[in-house]
Structure 1
Amino acid sequence: MHKRNSRLALAVLAAATVGVMVAGCSAGGGDTTEDGVTTIQFWHRTFTPVENEWYADIVKDFNESQDEIKVVATEVPGDAWDQKMKAAQAAGKAPDVYTHPGSIQDAVNAGQLHELNGIVSDEALGEIIDSALPVSAIDDTYYAYPLLLEPQAVLFWNKEMLSAAGLDPEVGPATWSELLDMCAQIQPTLAEGQYCISPATDAVTFAWSSVGQQFNFSGHTALTSDWTAPDIDNAGYRELMASYQTLWNEDYMPKQALAAYVEGKDFGEEKVAFKVSGSWMMSEIGSDFPDLLGSTGIGAFPDADSAEGDTATTLGNFKWVVDAKSKNAEAAGAFLEWAIAGDAENLVPFFVDTQFTKVPVRESVQEAVAADPAASEAPWSGIIVNDIAPTAIPEPTYPWDVSLAVGTAMESVMKGAASVDDAIKTAEDAINTVIQRDDLPSKAPKS
């Protein structure tokens, strides 16, 4: 399955030749040995067991496919990632290749990422689909190659719990009004400890998971288009905050989170009828709660009643990047291209084993995954890839502190800790501080 084609074989050989010419320590501690083998370091976060297995296999397969480059992989627990990476970067010993979520703008501004143009073929870069370009490139310069896209706000529902409330189990709510009406019908049928819905509950999670909803309610995100001012004191943002306050006040959601937003344990244990999470949650249901697969509904997150935008989710992502200080950048680029930008069959196991819950960023990979026999047993895949992802917006490129200010306002209003007016004023003050501190108008997108 993992065979090099001739183009990639030449790329690996060329990279190894360059690696011999620049022999010496790499940023991640790699070097070129006396026998001409270039060693590069690759770090990735700890993901689900099947993802971790794929990462181990792709490194093993690459190393066995040729003898000029050796990749040494390190799996880093998610809660230790930031500290470990910052320490490595400060010491000039960041890995040659590593995984990177979210926007690349801050990393590019900090000079942390190597351009992929020149170390990854134009052919491979040209395969990245349009919806993945905002997280891959700035203008015409590529700094990251995505492995996947995944909607960050998807609605899951327990069909049996909806049926018990006299609701159509096959159809989820299309709007917030429909969601609230369904919760009103579901609530009397629940046992103690059960709730209608488990959404985001804290400022940090709101900060990243609600960006698509902000766009849906208001037609824009948290800054004016020229990044000169916050743009959250309007009817859309007010209605969004009030909607979550209703969920809280009506006891449709638990006052203490039953599980993290990113995991599906509360849904799997049937403590909630609706769960809001990323598309990846279906993978957890398939692996940890397989009996629920047949009774799990999935659909787009509900729209505002007077929606201004045509989506309520953002596209999360995980990308591979090459460190700007890598001494073996060509070899790093060759590994990256072989693993995730070359033969589509290298990637099929990843998307199949994660239960068809993630979106490939190349049409050739989408076709190969859809052709897998297991795809027919994963009807949710078409909903994620064809119904939800195409209209999802990219994650914002403005600084994280802007998003966190909005998330803090949403949490404080939802829980009654602040009025909408006070929460918006506090958020605006925080955002204005970021605008001045980081001179955001000079960094605003040109389009």
Structure 2
Amino acid sequence: MKSSTRMRRAPLVALGLAGALALGACGSSTPGESAGETTGDGGSSSDAGSGDAVTIEFWHRTFTPVENEWYANVVKEFNAAQDKVVVKDTEVPADAWDQKMKAAQAAGKAPDIYTFAGDVDEAAQAGQFHELDSLLSSDALDQLIDAAVPMAEYDGTFYAYPLLLEPQTVLFWNTDMLEKAGVDTENAPATWDDLMAACEKIQPTLSDGQFCISPAADAVTMAWSTVGQQYNASGHTALTDDWSAPNIQNDAYRSLIQFYKDLYDKGYMPKQDLGGYLTAKDYGEGKVAYKVSGSWMMSEVGSDYSDLLHTTGIGKFPSSPDGDGRTTTTLGNFQWVIDGKAKNPEAAAAFMEWVLAGDPEVLVPFFVDTQFTKVPVRQAVQDAVAADQAAADAPWSGIIMNDIAPDAHPGVTYPWDVSLAVGTAMESGMKGAESIDGALDTAAKAIQTIIEKDDLPSKAPAS
């Protein structure tokens, strides 16, 4: 667990909320026990009549129905539990998020608190997020498991509090389709060669419109989803340790692109998108035997394709022959952040701590209802989720939690444009738009321009 000697000020005390959020007379602190009738906006009748209550805006993206329901419920529960802070909840469609957030920030009307995916480094450097060390209690921050800390912290200071971690590259398979082809249904192919051998057996058993595997296939998706694979193949990612030069013109990156090119050229993967990396659509419709996606896909299988729930295998993505035991996945995350210009950061922090760092039972429904596909960032929450009766019917939970997530690569902190250059090279080389060497050369030149323009060596993490 992370420990710190830095002094932190608990926001509940700063706002005079300690009693209100415990067992004070103002309202119940037990989730689901209301202190007053709820209003349509997620507040309560007592909230609406409290002239001295601080109102804060909370934005989150549209997720799956069960996730959206959980977000709405925790806002109602927090508002009902006390009368010092009123949270106004806004659900923003995922495809409109960037535009809506940028417009709000430009107008000085960004929400006080909102969801965020990824590493905080660039946003923290730009002052986009409020630091949390002075807002959250020491106990709240010290509860974070070690794997959750790197993406939430920048230069020794916390700027985000994670809700979850989730492996971004997981292999799923339809056991019925594999059994028909005489392929192992219990274990994932260990190496690229093993996957190719499996596809060679599967392909003759498929009908028109069916394929062996659906992996990442476009530059943008490859840019973020293959970081773990890049590390697996090469032992590093796209820059030298001091961020002074690209580090991709080598045999490891060539072999990674060749692997995808072989899948593409042999017809083992579709030439056209059948549903996208983020969703289970192509898998759920029986169009692919293997599907590559994040661990979250199992939640969609459970909710939208429940007939496949117990005929779906799950395991690690295959390794490069030179992978030397390294992970093939990146550890994705979803975090909550407080805006750097928030007018009421203490109130936002009170809400953040109550939901994410308080009673584990507030979080249990989120992880249970998403089919045990995500990793809690506090041990107490992991224990509470594992103790839920439904956990026994989700054998994939242990694979995600114990086999895939623990050694997942934490992700890169260099600018997105560097990753995108690699993803573009991968797509170009895979589809034959350029030779593999030509694609890597184009990417290296683009990365070198980014290095010089943004002075990346000055921003490289300390070794």
Q: Assess same fold via TM > 0.5.
A: yes
Aligned to 2:123, which of 76, 87, 107? 107
Aligned to 1:321, which of 337, 347, 353? 337
Q: Does structure 1 residue 388 correspond to structure 2 residue 409? A: no
The 3-state SS of whatever aligns with 1:106 is: helix
Amino acid at match of 2:15: A
Tell me how far apart the structure 2 counterparts of residues 185 and 58 of structure 1 sit (CA, whole Å).
49
Q: Does structure 1 residue 357 correspond to structure 2 residue 355? A: no
Identity of aligned residues (%): 64
Contact 1:16 1:331 in 2 (8 A): no
User: In structure 1, what is the equivalent of residue 237 of structure 2?
Assistant: 221
Aligned to 1:415, which of 424, 431, 442? 431
Q: Does structure 1 residue 250 correspond to structure 2 residue 261? A: no
Tell me how far apart the structure 1 counterparts of residues 17 and 368 of structure 2 sit (CA, whole Å).
35
Runs of 4+ in 1 over 4 A off after TM superposition: none
Tell me how far apart the structure 2 counterparts of residues 298 and 321 of structure 1 sit (CA, whole Å).
32
Tell me how far apart the structure 2 counterparts of residues 295 and 17 of structure 1 sit (CA, whole Å).
49
Amino acid at match of 2:303: S
How many residues align? The count is: 426
Tell me how far apart the structure 2 counterparts of residues 163 and 417 of structure 1 sit (CA, whole Å).
36
Tell me how far apart the structure 2 counterparts of residues 347 and 138 of structure 1 sit (CA, whole Å).
25
User: In structure 2, what is the equivalent of residue 194 of structure 1?
Assistant: 210
- How far 1:387 moved relative to its partner? 0.3
User: In structure 1, what is the equivalent of residue 305 of structure 2?
Assistant: 289
**In 2 relative to 1, CA 307–426 (structure 1 residues): closer, same or farther, beyond 3 Å?**
same
**In 2 relative to 1, CA 339–188 (structure 1 residues): closer, same or farther, beyond 3 Å?**
same
User: In structure 2, what is the equivalent of residue 90 of structure 1?
Assistant: 106
Amino acid at match of 2:304: D
- How far 1:17 moved relative to its partner? 7.2
User: In structure 2, what is the equivalent of residue 14 of structure 1?
Assistant: 14
Contact 2:172 2:314 in 1 (8 A): yes
1:361-440 maps to which residues of 2 (within 5 A)?
A: 361-440=377-456
Larger relative CO (CA 8 A, sep 6+): 1 or 2?
Answer: 1
The 3-state SS of whatever aligns with 1:390 is: coil
> Which runs of 5 or more structure 1 residues have no equivalent in the other structure?
1-9, 19-31
Amino acid at match of 1:258: L
Tell me how far apart the structure 2 counterparts of residues 276 and 440 of structure 1 sit (CA, whole Å).
32
Tell me how far apart the structure 2 counterparts of residues 132 and 11 of structure 1 sit (CA, whole Å).
22
- How far 1:11 moved relative to its partner? 4.8
Aligned to 1:333, which of 349, 360, 380? 349
1:253-292 maps to which residues of 2 (within 5 A)?
A: 253-292=269-308
Amino acid at match of 2:423: G
Tell me how far apart the structure 1 counterparts of residues 251 and 173 of structure 2 sit (CA, whole Å).
29
Aligned to 2:132, which of 105, 116, 140? 116
The 3-state SS of whatever aligns with 2:309 is: helix
Q: Does structure 1 residue 183 correspond to structure 2 residue 208? A: no
- How far 1:15 moved relative to its partner? 2.0
Deviations 1:298-321 (A, max 9, x none): 000000011146100001110000
Q: Does structure 1 residue 78 correspond to structure 2 residue 78? A: no
Aligned to 2:225, which of 209, 214, 232? 209
User: In structure 1, what is the equivalent of residue 156 of structure 2?
Assistant: 140
1:35-54 maps to which residues of 2 (within 5 A)?
A: 35-54=51-70
Deviations 1:31-66 (A, max 9, x none): x99721000000000000000000000000000000
Contact 2:113 2:336 in 1 (8 A): yes
The 3-state SS of whatever aligns with 1:262 is: coil
Contact 1:12 1:68 in 2 (8 A): no
> Which runs of 5 or more structure 2 residues have no equivalent in the other structure?
1-9, 19-47
**In 2 relative to 1, CA 16–71 (structure 1 residues): closer, same or farther, beyond 3 Å?**
farther
Contact 1:218 1:308 in 2 (8 A): no
Tell me how far apart the structure 2 counterparts of residues 139 and 441 of structure 1 sit (CA, whole Å).
16
Q: Does structure 1 residue 347 correspond to structure 2 residue 366? A: no
Contact 2:50 2:83 in 1 (8 A): no
Q: Does structure 1 residue 66 correspond to structure 2 residue 82? A: yes
User: In structure 1, what is the equivalent of residue 23 of structure 2?
Assistant: none
